[in-house]
Structure formats: C-alpha cells, structure tokens
Structure 1
C-alpha cells in the first residue's frame, strides 16, 4: 500500500473516531446501563485509534477526547462533578495516555501471544486503555478535589475518604467499562486487521 493511501486511511479513521467520540459524549449513547451501574464507552474510539494507528495517533485522539470532555463540562455540565472537568488536568491530561497505553499493552501482548492469539492481545490493550482512563481520572480527582468530593459525599449521606470513593468507583464502573471495552474493541479491531493489515 502506498504512503498516500495509508495517510488518507489514517485521516479517515481519525475523523471517524472523532465524530463517534463527539456523538457518544454529547448523547446518552455514551453510557450503557448494566444493572446498578453505567459503563461509559466514550473512551473506546481513543482505544481503537491507538491500537490500529499507533501511539502518536492515540495521543492525538486522546487529546481530542479530552478537549471534548472539557468543553462539554464548560458549556453543559450535567452534575456537580462535571465542574471538576473544567480543569484540564482532569479532563484532558489523563485522556492523552489512553491510546498510548492501549497501543503498547497490545504490542507487548502480541509479542507474547503471537499472531494466532491477536484478538487476545487486542483485548489486553483495550482493558489497559480503559483502566488507564479510570485510574488517571479518578486519581486526579481524588488528589486535586478530594476535600470537595468528601463534602459532596457527606451531603449525600456518605462519610468516606475520596480515595476510598475512587477505589469503589473503579471497582464497579471501571471494571464494567473495562469488560465492555474489551468486547467492543476486540470485535472492531479484529475485523479491521483482518481486512487491512499489511
């Protein structure tokens, strides 16, 4: 495949993933109800971009995802927690590592599992990418806004430390998001690599 065609395909994929991210972020489609929790899937296009196009494209897509989150929180906050995402350290910085982490986890797993187990390697990359989003965002929230979060939880009748709240969210929503990410990303990337990997 010539370089022009590859560059065109990369641009098309980035544009498509950006459009999907915007749709997921600004509509209810970005959250899947799973019992008592919701699994957010807005970060999935960033994971897919990283695994398919590499760490640089993953970084760019993560930056775009972060900017979308930032402006969403700025112009249409949906909860008191949304206001925290006006801080770029919360909304933008953690998202820049999603696609990068997903790619390197995938690449390492692919070396370990070999080509025959490529879907498993994709799943590893997807889970690591999702976990990166969860840990970095919740960690930043706890470190920067811990006292405010604790006050908000207390008003809701919950007396707990911010870091324990973060661990609880990571263990429920974060785990579900990781599982959903593995299923969706593995399916999409496997089809892509089967058709276009050269």
Structure 2
C-alpha cells in the first residue's frame, strides 16, 4: 500500500512537471498548424486523471489553470492579461474538467466496457468540456470587454465563440480522442503492475 502511494505521488509529480513545462516552454503545449494553434496540455490532464483518479485529475486541472493564470501576466498579450488573470476563467474550468473526466472514466465501465474506447470518449469529452467551460466563462464574466477587444459586438460574440469551438475546439477534441487511449493505456498497465 505504501509503495503504491509512493508510486502515485511520483506519477503525480511527473504529470505536474509535464504540465508546467508544456505551459511555459514554447511548442510543448501547443501544436502550431498552418491555420490553427492546437492546445495539447489538456491531454496531459486527461491522461493523468484516467491513470491516477479524480483527485489527481482535480490537482492536475488546477495546476494547468494556475499555469494559465501565471502565464497571462507574462504573455505580453492584452487579451490574455485581461481574460486569464481571472481565476474563474483560467483555473476553475480546468479544475472541473480534470476531476469530472477522471470520474467519468472510473464510473462509465458499465456504459462503455472496452477500456480504450472509454479512454477515447473521456479524451473527447474532457477536451470539449474544457473548451466550452472556458469560452462560456469568458462570455458570462467578461463578454463586453472580450467583444470590445476582439472588435465584435456583444450580439456577435456567441457566433464568434461557436466558431472557435468549431475550429480549435473540434481539432483539439479529435487530437485528445486519438492520443488519450494510446498514452493512457500504456500508463494504466504500468500503474496496475506497480500497484
């Protein structure tokens, strides 16, 4: 039991270190494509939650959110500084996503018996949940300011945000759907052998 707890702490520390590196080292947390810049940090949070459980999912989600919060002060981007210095936008959605996606993976065994498929669904749901929660928080908490900075009216904002979901959000969800079961299945196997 003590050995398993130590191994869990080591894995948690590794995931936290990866999230910090992905947050602050250029190109580690994002895949820059020709038209889109796809965030992949959420995959680390999702995989960590699947492997280590909901409490770790909450911790990893919080870590990512806190890194986003800190990065907003140093990014030099007015939009990031205005939006992501609000912890209800930068931290809370990521914390909720990390915990809920891990809980879904644990509890949905009767709904989806095949483990890799459940991991893929968890990856997709976690990614979409993160996108929707962050954009909804922006709209509800800072809609007027965000519309002004992006050159939109408040009435145009929902359509604009839906465009973000349909471009970056879907691309990130597809990446999470493919990558989550590949990475998580290996780590779950190792974790079970060590535990």
TM-score by length of 1: 0.89
Corresponding position of 1:168: 163
In the alignment, structure 2 segments of 5+ residues that lack a partner are none
Between 1 and 2, higher relative CO (CA 8 Å, sep ≥ 6) is seen in 2
User: Of 79, 82, 92, which residue of structure 1 is paired with 2:80?
Assistant: 82
Secondary structure in structure 2 of the residue aligned to 1:29 = coil
Deviations 1:124-152 (A, max 9, x none): 11111111111111110111121122222
Distance (Å, rounded) in 1 between the aligned partners of 2:108 and 2:174 = 17
Q: Secondary structure at the match of 1:112?
A: coil
Q: What TM-score do you get using the length of structure 2 for normalisation?
A: 0.90
Matched, 1:72 2:81: no
Is 2:53–2:106's contact at 8 Å kept on the other side of the alignment? no
Displacement of 1:69 in angstroms is 1.0
- SS of the residue aligned with 1:43? helix
User: Offset of 1:108 from its aligned partner?
Assistant: 4.0
Two-structure CA RMSD over aligned residues (Å) = 1.7
Q: Which residue of 2 aligns with 1:13?
A: 11
Partner Cα distance (2:72, 2:136) in 1: 18
Task: Tell me: CA distance 1:99–1:67, structure 2 relative to 1, closer, same or farther (3 Å).
Answer: same
How do 1:100-179 residues align onto structure 2 when only pairs under 5 Å count? 100-114=99-113, 117-154=114-151, 161-179=156-174
Matched, 1:184 2:179: yes
Aligned length: 190
Inter-partner Cα distance in structure 2 for 1:94 and 1:68: 13
